[in-house]
Amino acid sequence: MTPSKPHRVLLDRVSGYADEAAAYMRRRRVARRPFARVYYRGGRGADHAVDSVSGGELFVAAGRLIEVAGKKPKQ
Amino acid sequence: MTLGQGTRSGILADRMVDANSGTAISDEAAGQALAFLAEMSPDLRGAAILDSAGAVLAASDRPERWGEDVAALLEVADRAGGEPVEQIHIATEQGEVFAIRHAGLAAVAVTERFALASLLFFDMRSVLRDLASGNGGGEALL
């Protein structure tokens, strides 16, 4: 039995990575929940939960901006 | 929440994190910066650039609405942490909102879901830095 041609090994490896990346993105899309994060000078960040008062206000403000921006223009 | 003109100016003028830019920025330069940002970010739905007084220098659409809503977002974010924020990233089911303050300016972008946050923040920061230095938005990146 002859070994696989080198370029096929490379292609298999690349498509394997692509499959893994696609699966990761699928899981991310399903599992990702809304969040609100703010960052301060120096790199410090803080999460604001959706059910908190500050989080609720941030989501309302963001919702208004999303409404202003509208849908993505068709190319 | 709708803020009056005077309130809006106070929010942005008093609390800019890097309010060290004394350069007057033309609407044309800001418009070019916005166009550059749109070109670099395929997920972008809309964006705006504001000066340190809270005035909209450029917006993809309806500048007066962008001015009011950006001021409201920054006010809420500043109040939430008790200090001026530098960056904001809010992800919802309908889209994502990014805001950044840099060099006395503010940029806000609304994107599709799952936009690459680090790249977008990098582009927004670069655009503001170029605008503040008088190079025009994004030209130094090309």
pTM of the model: 0.76
Residue A72 is nearest to which of B45, B92, B114, comparing CB atoms? Answer: B45
Query: What is the structure's pLDDT at B15?
Result: 42
Instruction: List for chain A the helix, strand, coil content (%; round to 5).
Output: 55, 10, 30
Query: What is the structure's pLDDT at A73?
Result: 63
Query: What is the structure's pLDDT at B6?
Result: 36
Give yes or no for A22 touching B (CB within 8 A). no
Q: Does the pLDDT at position B110 exceed 80?
A: yes
Which chain B positions have a beta carbon within 8 Å of A49's beta carbon? none
Mean pLDDT of B109-118: 92
Query: What is the structure's pLDDT at B138?
Result: 52
Tell me if B87 and A63 make a contact (CB, 8 A cut-off): no
- How is residue A5 written in tokens? 């041609």
Mean pLDDT of A38-59: 93
Query: What is the structure's pLDDT at B135?
Result: 67
- How is residue A23 written in tokens? 């699966």
Which chain B positions have a beta carbon within 8 Å of A39's beta carbon? 85-89
Q: Does the pLDDT at position B142 exceed 60?
A: no
Question: Which value does ipTM take for this structure?
Answer: 0.78
Query: What is the structure's pLDDT at B111?
Result: 96
For the domain that residue B133 is a member of, what is the CATH number? Answer: 3.30.450.30
Q: Does the pLDDT at position B11 exceed 90?
A: no
Report which of residues B14 and B87 the model is more confident about.
B87
Helix ranges, B1-142 (H):
5-15, 27-40, 63-81, 117-133
Place of tokens 């709708």: B2
Q: How far is CA B85 from CA B15, B92, B100, B114, in A?
A: 9, 20, 8, 22
Number of domains comprising chain B: 1
Q: Does the pLDDT at position B139 exceed 80?
A: no
Residue B69 is nearest to which of A35, A68, A70, comparing CB atoms? Answer: A68
Range of the domain at B21: 5-141
Give yes or no for A37 touching B (CB within 8 A). yes
Query: What is the structure's pLDDT at A71?
Result: 80
Query: What is the structure's pLDDT at A74?
Result: 61
Give yes or no for B86 touching A (CB within 8 A). yes
Q: What is the pLDDT of residues B34-66, one digit of tens each?
A: 999 999 999 999 999 999 888 999 999 899 999
Mutate to test the interface with B, among A47, A52, A65, A74 (most CBs of B within 10 A): A65
Q: Calculate the dihedral angle through the C-alpha atoms of B64, B118, B27, B112, rounding to the nearest 10 degrees.
A: -40
Q: Does the pLDDT at position B33 exceed 60?
A: yes
Query: What is the structure's pLDDT at A75?
Result: 58
Mean pLDDT of B88-95: 94
Count residue pairs from A and B with Cβ separation < 8 A. 111
Query: What is the structure's pLDDT at B53?
Result: 86
Instruction: Place B23 in a pLDDT band, splitting at 50, 70 and 90.
Output: low
